[in-house]
Each structure stands twice: as C-alpha cells, then as structure tokens.
Amino acid sequence: MVKNWKPIILKKFGELDPKKEILTVFDEKTKKIDFSNCIKQHQKQNFEDEAYIRTYLVLRLIKELDYPCEAIELEKSIP
C-alpha cells in the first residue's frame, strides 16, 4: 500500500476538475469540502480519509464516466 497517498489523490482532483466546476472547495487546513450545487448534500461531510476517496470517486463518476451530477446525493440518512 502507498504510504503517502493523499498527495496523489489531491493531484487527481486537479486533473479531473481543473476549473473547479464540481469540487469547489477541498481545503485540508480548514477541513472544508464543498461541491457545486448540482450535487445534493444532506449533511456536511466529515473530513477524514474516506473524504478523499469519496471525493475522487464523485469526480471520476462525473468527469470520466459522464454520470449526471444531479443524480448524486451525499450523506443521505436512510431511516
């Protein structure tokens, strides 16, 4: 397993979304993540390791696989 994988993922964010059309904020210092309004976010995301992977997968779905961002909902609670 790659020990220092976070810089690799952060680089991918820039490659997948260079104009920040989908991922508007990903700030490690303030621990803030924001997506464009086309993605429905039910709660603010926790800034943990899984946030890096989730963000990468969301960007890849939209930018590489042409998945409609309007169809993505994050942090939805299921009763």
pLDDT tens column, 29-40: 888 888 999 998
- Asked if residue 42 has pLDDT above 60, the reply is yes
pLDDT for the residue 2: 64
- Domain annotation covers residue 14: yes
Hunting for tokens 């390791």 — which residue is that? 49
Tell me the pairing of strands 23-27 and 32-35.
antiparallel
Give domain status of residue 63, yes or no: yes
Domain membership of residue 25 as a residue range: 6-74
pTM for the predicted model, two decimal places:
0.85
For residue 24, being part of any structural domain is answered with yes
And the tokens for 20?
Answer: 């920040």
With a cut of 80, say whether residue 71 has pLDDT above it: yes
Among all chains, which residue has been given the structure tokens 């989908």? 22
Residue 64, in any domain of the structure? yes
The one-letter amino acid code at 5 reads W
Residue with tokens 């042409």: 66
Q: Does the residue 57 lie in any domain?
A: yes
Inside any domain, residue 40: yes
The total number of structural domains in the chain stands at 1
Residue 1: pLDDT band (50, 70, 90) is low
Residue 37 domain-assigned (yes or no)? yes
In a domain, 44, yes or no: yes
